[in-house]
Amino acid sequence: MHELFILGGEILKTLKSNGFEGYFVGGCVRDYYMGRTVNDVDITTNALPDQIESLFPQTIDVGKEHGTIIVRISGVSFEVTTYRTEEGYSDFRRPDRVSFTNRLYTDLERRDFTMNAMAMDEDFKILDPYSGKADIADGIIRTVGCPRERFGEDALRMLRAARFSSQLQFDVETATQDAMTESAKYLEHVAVERTVAELVKLYGGKDNLKAKHVLVKTGITAHLPFFKHVCETSFLKTRPESLLEEIALQIWLDEDLYDALNTLKLSNEMKNEINQILKLSEDAAHEDYLMLAYSFSDRILSVASSMMGTNPFFSSSLKVQNIAAAIGVKSDLPIHSQKDIAIDGKQLMAYFNLPGGKWIRTIMEALEEEILCGNLKNDKYEIMKWMDAHVEIETGHIKIIKE
């Protein structure tokens, strides 16, 4: 039995022993029923937020006005939310009004898809008023009730449908897909950060190509930042394993897309990784594999290798070979950055009795190359001997003499 359900079961027992109802709900029930890994467990109850707080010693108010309280059990957090109904979605994302209810089925009725509208008690009995089990058996993603209403309430649900098609390899039911086509424009009201979060999950699924076809067929891509500038042929041509790869691949195919990158509001870290992948994709054709291994991180080398291996339009076998070789020698490099060199700028100034300047970089880069190529041991005294033989000072200028 899953540890999260055991701990969560203590919350259900406490609720019921105090005269309230309590059920596991949503994705955890779906994943339990499908035999998938359960990473977090949500609970729904007819207890009001103040009553939930009074029943448990460790709680966190994360949205009492919407009925949600975090309950901590043995160091694990559980979202416990009061049965509720929702009205008005002027921003196509959040309800304008939330009302609490005593009816479980009324609460389940407001949820997105039938497979997520199941509840389960502490004895693992599943309540399934909207035939979620049947849709799971058929591999179908279907909204609870009218799909146009569900997407009008929360436009992000359309991306969630595509994401589930990738993660679960399910098909989107026809009426649901038709409503996505009609409602796709509402996605322009959704915060970019939320859109990106869904796309990250979508591309992390088992079959993101299936999801990409859904996005194109429903016209959703025309309403997504960055992707609205990508032609459908290029979009369906790529075989990425992550959102990061998809963006890099599309910019590789059309460098003008780089100007649209900022519309995704990515973190600086992610933008830097995209830039590094693109640079490596260029450098791999002409840089020595040792310098590739030295210049790029394990992650960037791995991502670029994956991209080139799964996307045939990277036709250069030399690039693939160089990156593979770089990955092979990465861990055995004598240095991994200039900071690893056994002499630094201050020591160079003292050794040559010169003030700082660009000459330091010239020498450090020469040392870097010699050490990486195995021509010079990374030892301070060996480096000094090498400099005596290969560094010439002329009227304050530094010149590297190569044999």
Q: Which of 80, 111, 138 is the last residue of a domain?
A: 138
The answer to whether 333 and 321 have CB atoms below 8 angstroms apart is no
User: Please, which residues have CB within 8 angstroms of residue 246's CB and are 6 or more apart in sequence?
Assistant: 203, 238, 240
Is 276 a domain residue?
no
| Inter-residue contact 248 to 307 (CB < 8 Å) | yes
* pLDDT for the residue numbered 312: 81
Q: d(Cα 84, Cα 48) in Å, to the nearest integer?
A: 10
Domain span at 382: 338-400
Domain membership of residue 309 (yes or no) is no
Q: Is residue 34 part of a domain?
A: yes
- pLDDT per residue as tens digits for the range 62-100: 989 889 999 999 999 999 999 998 765 555 556 667 889
Sign for the CA dihedral angle at 225, 229, 232, 238 comes to: negative
Q: Is residue 275 part of a domain?
A: no
Q: 263 lies in a domain?
A: no
Contact 46, 18 (CB under 8 A): no
CA–CA separation, 53 vs 64, rounded Å?
10
DSSP 338: G
**Residues with pLDDT less than 70, the chain:** 1, 87-96, 315-316, 395-396, 403
Boundary residue ending a domain (95, 115, 138):
138
* C-alpha distance from residue 310 to each of 239, 277, 293 (Å): 6, 15, 21
CATH of the domain at 31: 3.30.460.10
Positive or negative torsion for Cα 352, 358, 362, 368: positive
Question: Which residue, of 138, 160, 177, is where some domain finishes?
Answer: 138
In a domain, 18, yes or no: yes
What CATH number does the domain containing 373 carry?
Answer: 1.10.246.80
Q: What is the pLDDT of residue 90?
A: 58
Residue 221 is predicted with a pLDDT of: 98
Whether residue 315 lies inside any domain: the answer is no
Secondary structure string (H, E, C) spanning 128-174: CCCCHHHHHHHCEECECCCHHHHHHHCCHHHHHHHHHHHHHCCEECH
Q: Which two tokens stand for residue 295?
A: 């210049």
Nearest CA to 280 out of 304, 262, 264 is that of: 304
> How far is residue 206's CA from residue 202's CA, in Å, rounded to a whole number?
9
Q: How far apart, in whole angstroms, are the C-alpha atoms of residue 304 and residue 247? A: 12
Element (H or E) spanning 335, and its range?
none
CA-based Rg of the chain, rounded to a whole angstrom? Answer: 29
278-329, pLDDT tens digit by residue?
999 999 988 889 999 999 999 999 999 999 888 887 766 788 899 999 999 9
| Tally of domains within the chain | 2
Distance CA(150)–CA(183), nearest Å, equals 10
Specify if 130 maps to a domain: yes
